[in-house]
Amino acid sequence: MRKITIEGVGSYLPERIMTNDDLAKIVDTSDEWIRTRTGICERHLAAEGETCSDLAVRAAQRALADAGLEPNDIDLLIVATVTPDHIMPSAAVLIQAKLGLRSVPSFDVNAACSGFLYALETARSLLRNERYRHALVIGSEKLSSIVNWEDRSTCVLFGDGAGAFVLGNGSSDLPVLVDGLAGADGLAANLLYVPAGGSAQPASKETVEDRLHTVTMNGKELFKAAVRHMAEATEEILKRNGLTTEDIAWFVPHQANIRIVQALAQQLNVPMECFVCNIEHTGNSSAASIPIAFAQAKAEGRFQKGDRIVLVAFGAGLTWAATLVLW
C-alpha cells in the first residue's frame, strides 16, 4: 500500500488579540474564571472582512513553502470548517481560486472540531489512488462570526485561525500518516449546534433577534463526552497498531479546554508533558486547533525523527477522530 507522507505544515493566527480582560469589559466574567475553568488567557480574532478562506490561504501558503511546493503541485484540496465564507459555495473553491490551484477537486468537510482529522483521513484514502500525488488539507475557522458575544458561557471559549498540511504519496523518509479513525453519534447533535440559518430554520427577522445564528452549547455534557470519546479513540488507534501509550512521544489533542486535556491525560495515564497544548493563546479554534498546535510544535522543533504522535479530536455532532503519525 502507498505510504502517505506529511510534506509540509503551516498555520496562521490573525493579528488581533482579545484578552480575558478585554472580554470582562463586554460580559460578566473575569480573567480568573476563564483561566482556571478553561486554561485560556487570550484568543486571536479575524479582522472585519477577513474571512475563513483568507485565514486558510495564509496557512496554506506557509504549508506549501514548508513543503517546497507550488500551488500547481496540488491535486486535491479538502477544507475542514464550520464557518465557511458562505453556505454555498464551499470555502474550498474560494481557497482554490485565491491560491491559484489548478481545477482540482476542492470540497469542504463539516465535522466541527474533529473536521481536520476527518479531512486528513479522507485525503489519506484518496491519495492511495495514483491520480493524486499531493493533497492540501486545511482546517480554518472564523468562529467569532458565529459566537453570541452576549453569552459568557460560550463567547470566552472560541478563537479564529487556520492550519494546513500538505500530504504526498512519494518520498519515504518524510513523516508518515500511519492510520486514522473517525466516529460519530448524531443522537447527541443537540449538545452543540447553531439552531438557525440552515434548512430546518431559515434566516428570518425572528431568528436574528433571538440570536439563533450563534453557538448553543451544553458545556457540562460535552466535557464528559469529550474525555470519554478522545480516550476511547486514542486507545483504539493504539490497539489496532499494536502500540501502547508508552510508544507515543506526543499527543496533539483538540484544544477545547485545558481541563479536558488534563482529564484525558489522567485517563490514559500519560504525563501532561507529552501533550502539545497552546490553548492559552488560541482558545478553541475548532477544526483549526489541531493543525495550528501541530505546526507550532513542529516549528519549535519538538518532534524528533522516529517519534510516534497521536492527534485526537472531539466535537459537535458528536464526532471524534484520531490519527497516528510516525515522524
CB of 246 to ligand UT7, least distance (A): 27
Q: Is 220 in the site for ligand UT7 (CB under 6 A)?
A: yes
Query: Which of 111, 184, 164, 180 shows the shortest CA–CA distance to 292?
Result: 164
In the annotation, is 148 catalytic?
A: no
Catalytic residue among 44, 134, 229, 254: 254
159 vs 315 by CB, closer to ligand UT7: 315
Q: Is 231 in the site for ligand UT7 (CB under 6 A)?
A: no
Tell which one of 4, 113, 261, 312 touches ligand UT7 (CB under 6 A): 113
CB of 147 to ligand UT7, least distance (A): 12
CB of 164 to ligand UT7, least distance (A): 20
Query: How far apart (Å, rounded) are the C-alpha atoms in residues 96 and 103?
Result: 8
Q: Is 193 in the site for ligand UT7 (CB under 6 A)?
A: no
> For residues 92 and 123, is the Cβ–Cβ distance under 8 A?
no
Span between the terminal Cα atoms of the chain, in Å: 19
Site string for ligand UT7, 293-322 (x = CB under 6 A): ----------------------x-------
* Residue with grid cell 484578552, as numbered in its chain: 19
CB of 276 to ligand UT7, least distance (A): 16
> For residues 281 and 258, is the Cβ–Cβ distance under 8 A?
no
Tell which one of 257, 282, 296, 319 touches ligand UT7 (CB under 6 A): 257
Eight-state DSSP code of residue 268: H
Query: How far apart (Å, rounded) are the C-alpha atoms in residues 19 and 181?
Result: 35
In the annotation, is 284 catalytic?
A: yes
Catalytic residue among 113, 134, 257, 278: 113
Q: Is 142 in the site for ligand UT7 (CB under 6 A)?
A: no
User: Inter-axis angle of helices 258-268 and 31-38, to 10 degrees?
Assistant: 20
User: Alpha-carbon dihedral of residues 47, 164, 41, 217, nearest 10 degrees?
Assistant: 90
- How many chain residues interact with ligand UT7 (CB under 6 A)? 19
* Max intra-chain CA distance, the chain: 57
Strands (DSSP E) found in the chain: 5-12, 16-19, 42-45, 76-80, 106-109, 134-141, 161-168, 176-184, 192-193, 216-217, 250-253, 308-315, 319-326
Site string for ligand UT7, 15-54 (x = CB under 6 A): --------------x---xx--xx----------------
Tell which one of 92, 226, 233, 290 touches ligand UT7 (CB under 6 A): 226
In the annotation, is 113 catalytic?
A: yes
Q: Is 219 in the site for ligand UT7 (CB under 6 A)?
A: yes
* Cell numbers that stand for 31 in this block: 480573567
DSSP one-letter string for 149-201 = TT-HHHHTTB--EEEEEEEES--TTS-EEEEEEEEE-GGGGGGEE--SSSSSS
Q: Is 8 helix (H, G, I), strand (E, B) or coil?
A: strand
Q: Is 204 in the site for ligand UT7 (CB under 6 A)?
A: no
Q: Is 139 in the site for ligand UT7 (CB under 6 A)?
A: no
96 vs 278 by CB, closer to ligand UT7: 278
149 vs 247 by CB, closer to ligand UT7: 149
Contact residues: ligand UT7, CB under 6 A: 29, 33-34, 37-38, 113, 152-153, 156, 192, 219-220, 222-223, 226, 256-257, 284, 315
Q: Provide the annotated active-site residues.
A: 113, 254, 284
